[in-house]
Every structure is written in C-alpha cells, then in structure tokens.
Structure 1
C-alpha cells in the first residue's frame, strides 16, 4: 500500500485551510449583509410610519354587528359569520362578502362602514382564516370553499335575492360556486362583484419580479405544499421575528401608492401574519391550479362588476381584462395606483363603483 508523505499532506492542509477561510469570509459577508438589510428595513419602516396618517385612529377589526353565528361546512369546519341588518334598503336582498387569501372579513372594513344600514350584509371568515376553524388534515380546495359559501347563504339568506362580492380568493370561491350550482345563479343571484381576482393562470404571475427570478417559484411549490409541522413552525417563528420585513413586503405587494397609510399597511400585515404557514401551505395547490374561465358562463345571466387596481402584483389587471372578455356585458372599473387591496387603499373609488352597482341591481 502506498504511504502518504509529509510533503503531500502539507499542500492538502493549506488547501483545506484556504477553503475554510473562504467559507468563513462568505459567511461573514452574508451575516453582515443580513444585519445591514435588517437595519435598513427598520429605518425604512420607521420613516414610513412617521408620516401623517389619516387612519391612525381607525377602529380596524373592531366594527360591531347585529348578529354573530357559527355555520358548519359539510366537512365539519366551523365558519365565523357576522350579519348586519338593513334599515333603509330592500328587505329581500342580501349582500354576501367573501374575503381573500391570508386575510379575513376585515378586508371589507370600509365597505361595511359605507353600506351599513343600507343593505342587509353578511361577512364571514374563510376556513383557516380569522375566527373560523381549520381542517384537521388534507388540503383546502376551492370546491370546499364553495361548499362553505353555499352553507353561509343557506344559513343567513335561505330565500330572496343575493349579491356576491368576492375579493381575490373570495372571487375564485364565487366562481367555484357558479361551477357547482348554476341554478342558484340563474334563480337567486342578482349580481356579482369581483374585486382583484383571477379566473386562472396564477402560476404564471411574476409578482413584479424579473422572469429569471420568478421562474424559480415552480420548483418551490411542492416544497411548500409538503412542508412538515416542524418546518412551518420555524417559518411562523421567522415571520414573527422579522415583523419590519413583513410590514415592508405587505406594503410592496398589497398597495399601489408610494406612501400608503401606515396604519392601513399594519392592519393588512396583521391579517397576513395571523394566517399560519401551515394553512398557507395547504392552500397553495388549489390556488395555483385554479382554472375557471369556462365556469364564468354561469355569470352571463347576472350583472357583473369587475374592479382591479392598475398596479396589482398578485392578481394583475390582465386577469380582470380576461374575465371581462369572457363576460361581454360586465363592467370593468380600473383603480389608478391601486394594489391588491385596492378596496382598502382606495376605498372611496371602490365604494362608489360598488354603491352604483348595488343600486342598479337592487
């Protein structure tokens, strides 16, 4: 057997030492970069929050209702529902609001205030969101969300006309219900409002990133879906530890104006962070495989309002144009400088469009 001489060992040791030194340098640079990034993000957050804020005293998440109830879906998940009665509006019309992914019924804060007393209104939290229950196992599906919406309608408005208002995933829930229950839309639905939503192809959205970066989202999806409890617990801890970064990301991906209300950004960020990583992972497949352009045919029998911000990075305006083309009689309202939560960010414009639509269909 050949032996290793000292002259051969010394160069190998030097090579290993150089690698260790390079590795240490890389780690050091990475740590310094992260530290600098955290410091920069905190400075940006502090600067943003110092601006005058018209909603600093707004009672987000604290609006009263006339009745609270629990509606149980066919799969056993309990949904938290809130009902507001009509004082001056039509008695035979109920407006049901369906919120989006990583949010809760509070997304409709300004719509709730604007139309209180004028219409009978129903708000509820989707499964895994807000005060509603979670699935014990398995994935969430849009089909089951449609079943939940149907159960809420049956419990709160078993007769009379209904108007469905859906934001983001809430709009997709309405499409899934139309696919499953065409008769309901033909006989009882008086109108549908779709806000910042999509009929499909969400897997092609770049989120405002360069395509070379955005393409990496596809191989990551299985990892997100199959994340175990330990992994999601670590993600939740990381999210809580980096609240400033979460705030900045919320501002970036939720809003279109350069300097939105800090209180409004914080409110949306609280709704986002209240949705656990486990729930998020179990929703991924149904959102990324959502394809209901053909299901829109059921909406051709009813008036449809489509609203979207012109700088929405999550459900881009092109998706609203696609829905509009599939529904020739629909009305499209584009909110200038509006992001994904345009209904909060530009509430006056959205409420004006929605108010006109409700008067027309009622």
Structure 2
C-alpha cells in the first residue's frame, strides 16, 4: 500500500399532440416549483456579491484579465483560485467566504469568462489559460512568496499547463496544489451519463453543433434566456448529484453558465476535449497535492481523478460518492476542509492562526 491518503465520502416527442406538449410543460413547471419551494438554507447567501481589491492583468496577447485580491498583502501565503469552464471566479463563493483571515487569496476570471476580456478564438486553449495563470501570478505574488494553486475543472487544467510550461515555479514558489473535478486528458471518452453506445454516436457531432450555435450566438443567447425552468432542470441534472442540493445554488450556477456566451463555450470545447497534460504530472509530484472528485461527475468522471492520483502517490485523494461536477458549490465544506488540510501541511501554525 502506498502512502497516499484516500478518503471516500458517502452522503446518506414525435407523435405527441399539442395537449400532450402542454401537459409536459406544465409538469416541468410543477417539478421545478416543487424543488424551489423546499426549505433552502442557502437562500440568503450573497452569491456573486463577494468582492475584493480589483486589478486588471494583461495576458501575453493583450487580453485583460479581471483579478481580485482578498486578505492582507503581508500574509505569509497566497492561495490562487482558477475556476472552471463556463463559470467565473464567483463559483468559489463558499471558499472565498470561509477562508478569510490570515491568508491572502487571489481570484480571477479566465479569458472570455466573467469580467475578463474576450479572446481571439484561436487562443481559446488550455496552454493559453496556463500562460494566463502565469501572468496572474507575476502580477499578484512576489517571486519569492509561496503560493498554493487551486483549480476546478478547466482551472485544474490551467494549473497543469502552467506546470508543463513553467516547471521551475514548482521548485521555488508553488508549495501546494489542489485539483477539483478535473482531468489530465482523454476527455473524448466522456459519456455525460449517456449509455456508452449512444455517447459514441453523439460525441463527434458535438464540436460541429457547438460551432454552428456559436455562429448564431445572438439568437442562441436570446433563446437561452427564455427557458429558465428547463435550464434549471438541466443544470441540476448535469452538474449535481445530491438530490437535496440548494435550489439557490442551482440557480446561481445556471446564471453563471447562461452569462457565458455560446460562442465562448463553442471555442473552448475542442481544446478541453483534446487536451493532454499527463506528461506534467511528474512536476506536480514534487509538491503536496489534494485531489477532489465527485463519484457521479458526468463531465470529468471520478476515474480521471484516480488516474491523476496513481501518478501522484503522495497526494490526498478525496472522493465524494454522491456528488457531481461542481464540488465547490455542492459540497463546499469538503472542499474548504481539504484546502485547510493542504494549507496546514505547507504552512505550519495555520490551524492555530485560524482558531485564535
């Protein structure tokens, strides 16, 4: 048995008439309304309203990247958060809220997402987002100041791209890494929860379909705003696995996705499906690493996290069995707790500072 700490957390059409269509729509509205009427302890959360000290970082191709910094500038450790595909920095809401204190935290919107500037389509690549992360680090962290990198989904891929292109940072500055719901490659095998045979049929159609939608971006984005109930159901089904997830959290995630233009989604999709950063895992093996995965993640299945963990025998692997693709929002305590353990490993005395 290796020394890796493993944790597994379990939590207890055609032929239908107009009247039938109307009934189906009515049922959908009823189902959504019933979910939204459940007691919702997160209803009062100020989602999207936590803000820090703002600055603009220019990427190497001139794209302005929106960055926000929280915490004291003289903190002994900086934690930099990179969000996922179709989201923005607000997806780290709970971690931003709960890690306030003696740490310095940096949040940024990846290019073409959130409040960052739009990228040229040919720069919508994982290598480029790795270079963007490098620019954010240069602008926010001194060359001799330690940093922990945290990435969700595409944000984790950006960290891997940084490791591939700037391995020297992991010798002298990056002291810890957290990878959440992410993959080092082979996402072409993703099934989205469909039967494997059907997924194989539909997979080649997706890039072309998205490109076609991207060319009709204005029309598609207007249509996206009309189907709020359907979007709620799809988001809940695809992103989450816990049937009791807060309706406010589902709404918040759906709003972030809807705010990402369809042509941006189309531009990044081929890069994510085709990316392969398995060769950089040896670089990550030199620093303490936390890997978090959802057992029912339809986008980056748990097997991808296990593959990364096999290459990083000293890493801590945490699997949440009844969780989907957005652990920072679905099980924020698991993510925040894992980050606190990682920070305590690289910053002696952190727990005493936090509880003082």
Secondary structure class of the residue paired with 1:215: helix
Question: Structure 1 residues 228 and 308 mapped into 2: Cα distance closer, same or farther (>3 Å)?
Answer: closer
Match of 2:42 among 55, 64, 73: 55
Secondary structure class of the residue paired with 2:151: strand
Partner of 2:265: 280
Moved more, 312-321 or 333-342: 333-342
What TM-score results when the alignment is normalised by the length of structure 2? Answer: 0.89
Contact residue 153 and residue 183 of structure 2 kept, 8 A: yes
1:262-301 to 2 correspondences below 5 Å: 262-301=247-286
Distance 2:301 2:109 in 1: 24
Distance 1:284 1:224 in 2: 11
Offset at residue 263 of structure 1 (A): 0.4
Question: Structure 1 residues 178 and 319 mapped into 2: Cα distance closer, same or farther (>3 Å)?
Answer: same
Secondary structure class of the residue paired with 2:168: helix
Higher-Rg structure is 1
Match of 1:85 among 58, 63, 71: 71
Distance 2:230 2:287 in 1: 42
Partner of 1:148: 132
- Greater than 6 Å deviation, 4+ residue runs: none
Distance 2:250 2:152 in 1: 17
What TM-score results when the alignment is normalised by the length of structure 1? Answer: 0.88
Question: Structure 1 residues 33 and 148 mapped into 2: Cα distance closer, same or farther (>3 Å)?
Answer: farther
Unaligned 5+ residue runs, structure 2? 1-12, 348-356
Question: Structure 1 residues 128 and 179 mapped into 2: Cα distance closer, same or farther (>3 Å)?
Answer: same
Contact residue 81 and residue 125 of structure 1 kept, 8 A: yes
Offset at residue 228 of structure 1 (A): 6.4
Offset at residue 339 of structure 1 (A): 1.3
Can you list the C-alpha shifts for 1:266-305, whole angstroms capped at 9, x where unaligned? 0000001000100000001110101111111111111100
Partner of 1:176: 161
Structure having the higher helix fraction is 1
CA RMSD of aligned residues (A): 1.8
Partner of 2:4: none
Distance 1:218 1:132 in 2: 30
Partner of 1:325: 310
Moved more, 236-245 or 259-268: 236-245
Give the paired residue count.
Answer: 334
1:1-362 to 2 correspondences below 5 Å: 29=16, 34-65=21-52, 67-86=53-72, 91-159=75-143, 160-224=145-209, 226-227=211-212, 230-362=215-347
Offset at residue 86 of structure 1 (A): 3.4
Contact residue 163 and residue 190 of structure 1 kept, 8 A: yes
Distance 2:265 2:333 in 1: 30
Distance 1:307 1:72 in 2: 31
Secondary structure class of the residue paired with 2:285: helix
